[in-house]
Amino acid sequence: SYTTDTKSREENKKTLQNLYSLSVDITKIRRLKEWVLLQDVAYVKEIAGILQEMGADETTVASIIERCPEAILHTPAEINSQRALWQLVCQNEKQLINLIEQFPESFFTTKYQQNQKANILFFQELGLKNNIITRFLTSALNIFYNPVEKNKNMIEILQRNYLNLGGSAANMKIWILKLLSQNPFILLNTSTAIQENLEFLQKNNFTDQQVLQLLSKLKGFIFQLNSTTMQKSMLFSKNIFKCSDQELKQLVLKCPALLYYSVPVLEERLEGLLKEGISIAQIRETPMVLELTTQIVQYRIKKLSALGYDIKSGNLESLNGTKKDFEVTFGKIQSKKERPIFNPVAPLHIED
């Protein structure tokens, strides 16, 4: 058994030779996935040929193989099928090769090709744009492994719940497409999880309208939670902010993160804010600040402090939002600080 084991551990000389001829950095493959080099059969020249046919130059081919060495273990037939599959949503081969270069592992995952094709066609029928479907293929490939019936069934459950909660039939398609494009992983849930989480919100006296509002705000992530963690997070917030059930409900509607994040995450973020000298009252006034990580909060406070802006006595709104939102807010504060009080030459603007 020892000799067999040693023999099987020898690198395939033909594979090495073919990789060298393509200027592939073999040390990278050894470091990343050496087992690929030990396989008896590899299709190095064939896979490189298919990529070149699509418009990839030598550098691109080498880069793809270095980052996803198992590409060379697929048969040319498998890769041509995958190529035809992705062409259903790509404008041209230039876009396709760009995607393969960025996401080689997604492209070279060739299992469940029948399911992948059926789901691509289903998503197109549903009205999802091709650029959204390509995003799913590169970042949420698991949803394509589901039999198409499962994905159809999940969409029907979501549509039914949307209508039961008072959503209008006219807006339903837009709502579903938006939810899916924000969080395709919603399709990996079970109908039971969806039902239980909706019932949890209703038991906690959220009206149908408010439940719909939460679903949209949470981008469907609510279905990936469970009632136990949501209960714990709500109880934690109620104790911290010393508020009534009604007030807690308003806080959750304002900041669904209070429902979504677990107690340890909320504790850590709260602690980070308190260390910066921010009060519980300020956080209660602007709970959305808990959606930001401690590192982001510290960075933003530091930037604002450099302008002489005191966050302890001010409003926390200036910390909120995406990176882009914060940059806009920061820019406004900066220009206000730099603006001269009065320039006798400049025309007078009432708003100023």
Please tell me the number of Cα atoms within 13 Å of 157 on its side-chain side. 20
Dihedral angle sign, alpha carbons of residues 151, 157, 161, 167: positive
Specify the pLDDT at position 85: 95
Structure confidence at residue 88 (pLDDT): 96
| pLDDT attached to residue 3 | 35
Where in the chain are the domains?
10-110
* pLDDT computed for residue 209 by the predictor: 92
Helix (H, G, I), strand (E, B) or coil at 115: helix
Q: What's the whole-model pTM score?
A: 0.79
| Residue 132 CB contacts under 8 Å (≥ 6 apart), including other chains | 123, 180, 181
Residues of the chain with pLDDT under 50: 1-7, 346, 348, 350-352
| Number of helices followed by number of strands (H, E) in the chain | 22, 0
Closest Cα partner for 201 from 215, 217, 187, 190?
215
CA distance 69 to 18: 13
DSSP single-letter state for residue 347: P
What is the pLDDT, as a whole number, of residue 329? 85
SS3 348: coil
